Amino acid sequence: MMFPPSGRADGFPHRYLDAAPDYSGPFTDRVSQLGAELSDVLSADSSHDADMSYNAGQKLGLLFLPDGSPTTDPRAATYSLGIWISSKGPLWTRILHCGQEGDLAWRPCPLSDFPNTSLLDTIENFMRDKGLALVDDDILNQMAEGKETKMDGAPATIRDVLFCETC
């Protein structure tokens, strides 16, 4: 299952900011299939959050123990990795949250805090092979000129427009 190729030509990822979100069943099916394939590659169970309220993307979620090994137990997890797939173009990003074992209060944290960099590399290679281009943190936090969030009309970031306002 491939997404359309994105290329990395001039205008990446800004050329997708004006695209309409795809709320269709086929988009949800593609993300679900992507999650199943990624779970197989990682030998780890992923969740699929298809709720697109205030979001232009859907999330695949993975939980990890303090050493970076996968778990399905949210109470044992100290890392929650969200892999966001945009419906506006063949784009993806990752957002890491950290917490304390036994506590489900997650806080954003930098990817550099994650102890299993080889797993992150595997995910990046998998996504690239599927035709998706990574939108990295330095781009995600840039302001999307002339764009506002749907939730409250505040100035929007590229993350807000291409992936999620509520992640």
Using alpha carbons, select from 79, 82, 51 the residue that is nearest to residue 67.
79
pLDDT tens column, 114-165 = 999 999 999 999 999 999 999 998 899 999 999 999 999 999 999 999 999 9
CA-wise closest residue to 81 among 140, 142, 167: 167
Tell me what pLDDT residue 12 has. 76
Q: What is the count of structural domains for the chain?
A: 1
**pLDDT of 9 higher than 50:** no
- Domain of residue 25: give its range: 14-162
pLDDT over threshold 90, residue 37 = yes
2 in a domain, yes or no? Answer: no
- State the average pLDDT over residues 37-58: 96
Q: What is the pLDDT of residues 77-107, one digit of tens each?
A: 999 999 999 999 999 999 999 998 878 789 9
Task: Give this prediction's pTM.
Answer: 0.91
Q: How far apart are CA 156 and CA 146, in angstroms?
A: 8
**SS3 at position 122:** helix
Question: 157 lies in a domain?
Answer: yes
Say if 46 falls within a structural domain: yes
pLDDT band for position 14 (cuts 50, 70, 90)? confident
pLDDT over 70, % of the chain: 93
* Six token digits for residue 31: 């993300």
In a domain, 70, yes or no: yes
Main-chain phi, psi angles of 6, to 5 degrees: -95, -35
Reference 44, options 75, 81, 91; nearest CA is 81
CA distance 127 to 112: 19
Mapping DSSP onto H, E and C, the string for 13-45 reads CHHHCCCCCCCCHHHHHHHHHHHHHHHHHHCCC
Read off the pLDDT band of 10 (50, 70, 90): very low
Q: Is the pLDDT of residue 8 over 70?
A: no
Give me the pLDDT at residue 6, please: 44
Residue 158 lies in a domain: yes
In a domain, 153, yes or no: yes
Residue 58: CATH number of its domain = 3.30.310
Specify if 107 maps to a domain: yes
